[in-house]
Amino acid sequence: MELVINPSQEVFNQLVYLSGTTHEWDHQPYDYKYYSENYDGFCYFQFVLDTSENFIAGGSLARWDVKNGDPLYSIGLFYCKEEYRGMGYGKPVFQKMMDIVGEENCVLTAAPSMSQKYADAFGFTKMLPYSHMEAEIKPGKVKIPELSDCYTTKDWKDVDEHELEAFDLTICPRPRKSRMRSWFQQEGVYTRVAFDSAQKIVGYCAIRTIVFNKLCAAPFYAENEEVAARLLADVMKNISDFEKFEKLFFWYPAINKNMESLLTRFLPEDGFHIQVDFRTQFTKEILPARDDVVYSVASMELVINPPQEVFEQLIHLAGATNGWGHQPYDYKFYSENYDGYWFIAVIDKSKGPSENLVAGGSLARWDEKNSDPLYSIGLFYCKEEYRGKGYGKEVFKKIMDIVGDDNCVLSAAVNMSQKYADVFGFTKMPLYWHLKAELKPGKVKYPKLDNEYTTKDWKDVDEHQLEDYDLTVCQKPRKERMRSWFQQEGVYTRVAFDVNQKIVGYCGIRTINFNRLGANPLYAENEEVAARLLNDVFKEIPNFERYDTLIMKTPSINENLESLLSRFFPKDGYHIKVNGRIQFTKELIPSRDEVVYSQACSTHQFN
């Protein structure tokens, strides 16, 4: 027995025949030539015997390169002859393929019985939350229904190739124009492209003949069920003696809920069968594809600075699931008070403005005279049902493209800190984490305080004196920004003075969503100053005790937080946990974190 690479056509033909017989896999002998000529790298591995029927086990590995991107490997046709299963011949074939893949991303489609094994043994752990289905229909039972004239189709050769490529890129973000053209040109492939009344492409379908007198649809994309019906009808009519084929196969993501509805328009109940068939699994990251393009959802779109309604969706979702604290007016504040601002989002164009958010992120630029700009990233969030599909990565990549080689900062959740460092270069960070304290205003008990420190409303304080103090905490000037922050609705701010009328701290507490409050910021030279500030601001807030929660975010280098809170609240009146870390890409900008009892803003400020 011998492990060989790219054996003869006859050996490949054995695999096509065997897998078609036992598993009904959809191939043609010419696929060997197609794979080797149309991918950027291709290897076919096989264990063989020195006999005329010498196939034992085999597998196919292709590499897909893309400009300015990492390669993607794909594994297919991994098969072992039945009498040799369980004897260890398949594993060396698979291991040889994985040795070539190395540290790059790789994808395969796993049968349900093999899915967990591929994850556990070979690292194919990144997978979509849904399986792919197989629909098998009987062409002899097809009755083409009456269809509307809303959509028309053309043979693919009569369609502008750039227009077709542009549509294809809305489904698969990796360019494949030449590969698809070669696919359509093969013998026994019937392809039509669908257009709406404005002559915009809305789908295409290719059906090809495969071994054992069968057909398969590969691929079949349509913006809605009516488009799909028109494509299916017109391609079926193109195929000579269509009804004489034994079967036609479709493989589609289970997220498409309308496939069965489509088939019932063409076939009786006993004319088709649907079952779970496989799962798409990656080793490093899921590459997004518009899996729900077939029959319902319109395209996802990356937009910059979308309407207010999109921002409000994000802060509501992030507040409900992650506890993040914001107000709708933050969108206006960020855009008007930073030197550059971008709210980048992926939206689902098929949905209304109050429910179309898929993923989003907020980027602000902070300029300073005679200094390089500092970018900050915040509010990076993906809607739960879209996680793991690559939409968040698309947003983050766009953000980092804007940042370029400049310094950038973000506040990383504990479980994301290492990923931000390893993948995106946020490697400059303090040695300590930031904490999150959640207080219950309804349990507050005001302690007795001495009169060593007093406070004033910020409007009664000399702005230059306040700016001078602020620069001792944060070395980047932000007078105008902080003034705008204090002036917003629902913000209560007081400044602390010692007996010499020297500023020794200040505190701003504001109302945020879900009946909560956020301390943004609380700076104090010592615990007594912090206590005086909290005491006086609490008393200034109408109905303070009726709020559900007050949130503080504190660098753990400040060791006085719990002592401070215990003066105002019983043990069951507050909770402290590790929340995240401040991380920079180029340079850690120092701040006097030991006096920070709560950050100014965890979205776009770092102290």
How much is the average pLDDT of 24-38? Answer: 83
Mean pLDDT of 297-323: 83
pLDDT computed for residue 49 by the predictor = 60
Segments making up each domain of the chain, as ranges: 2-103, 133-293, 300-385, 434-598
Specify the higher pLDDT residue, 456 or 278. Answer: 456
Non-local CB neighbours of 494 within 8 Å, separated by 6+ positions: 455, 456, 457, 458, 506, 507, 533, 536, 537, 540
pLDDT over 60 at 300, yes or no: no
In the chain, % of residues over pLDDT 90: 63
Q: Which of 118-132, 243-257, 522-536 ranks highest by mean pLDDT? A: 522-536
SS3 198: coil
> What pLDDT is recorded for position 294?
40
Position 503 pLDDT exceeds 60: yes
Which pLDDT belongs to residue 297?
28
Measured between alpha carbons, how far is 99 from 120 in angstroms, rounded to an integer?
A: 17
| Spatial separation of the C-alpha atoms in residues 43 and 41, rounded to whole Å | 7
Helix boundaries (H) for 488-603: 527-540, 561-566
* Model confidence at 158: pLDDT above 70: yes
User: What CATH number matches the domain at 2-103, 3.50.7.10, 3.40.50.261, 3.40.630.30, 3.30.70.3000?
Assistant: 3.40.630.30
pLDDT at 464 over 90: yes
What is the average pLDDT across 330-354? 87
Query: Quick check: bond before 219 cis, omega within 30?
Result: yes
* 367-393 residue pLDDT tens: 988 889 999 999 999 998 888 777 888
Is pLDDT of 295 > 50? no
Percent with pLDDT over 70 in the chain: 96
pLDDT of amino acid 412: 93
Q: Is the pTM of this model over 0.85?
A: no
Cβ contacts of 334 within 8 Å, gap of 6 or more:
341, 343, 362, 364, 603, 604
Half-sphere exposure of 94 toward its Cβ, with a 13 Å CA cutoff?
18
| Domain 133-293, second-level architecture | 3-Layer(aba) Sandwich (3.40)
**Residue matched to tokens 């993948």:** 423
- Neighbouring C-beta atoms of residue 49, cutoff 10 Å: 13
pLDDT at 205 over 70: yes
Residue 293: its pLDDT value, please?
Answer: 52
Task: Band the pLDDT of 196: cuts 50, 70, 90.
Answer: very high
pLDDT confidence tier of residue 492, bands split at 50, 70 and 90:
very high
Least confident of 166-180, 189-203, 327-341, 536-550: 166-180
Q: What mean pLDDT comes out for the span 68-86?
A: 89
Pick the CATH number of 300-385 from 3.40.630.30, 3.20.20.120, 3.30.1490.100, 3.30.365.10: 3.40.630.30
Region 565-590 average pLDDT: 96
Same fold, 2-103 and 300-385: yes
Which residues is 63 bridged to in the sheet? 41, 73
Q: Are strands 454-457 and 491-497 parallel, antiparallel or unpaired?
A: antiparallel
Q: How confident is the model at residue 41 (pLDDT cuts 50, 70, 90)?
A: confident
| Average pLDDT score over residue span 153-181 | 89
- In the prediction, which pLDDT does 53 show? 58
pLDDT value at 45 more than 80: no
Task: Answer yes or no: is pLDDT of 159 > 50.
Answer: yes
What is the rounded distance in angstroms from the CA atom of residue 76 to the CA atom of residue 420?
32
Task: Determine the topology of domain 434-598 in CATH.
Answer: Aminopeptidase (3.40.630)
pLDDT 10s digits, 506-525: 999 999 999 999 999 999 99
Q: Which of the four pLDDT bands, split at 50, 70 and 90, describes residue 573?
A: very high
Is pLDDT of 268 > 90?
A: yes
Residue 1 has pLDDT above 70, yes or no: no
Per the prediction, the chain carries an average pLDDT of: 90
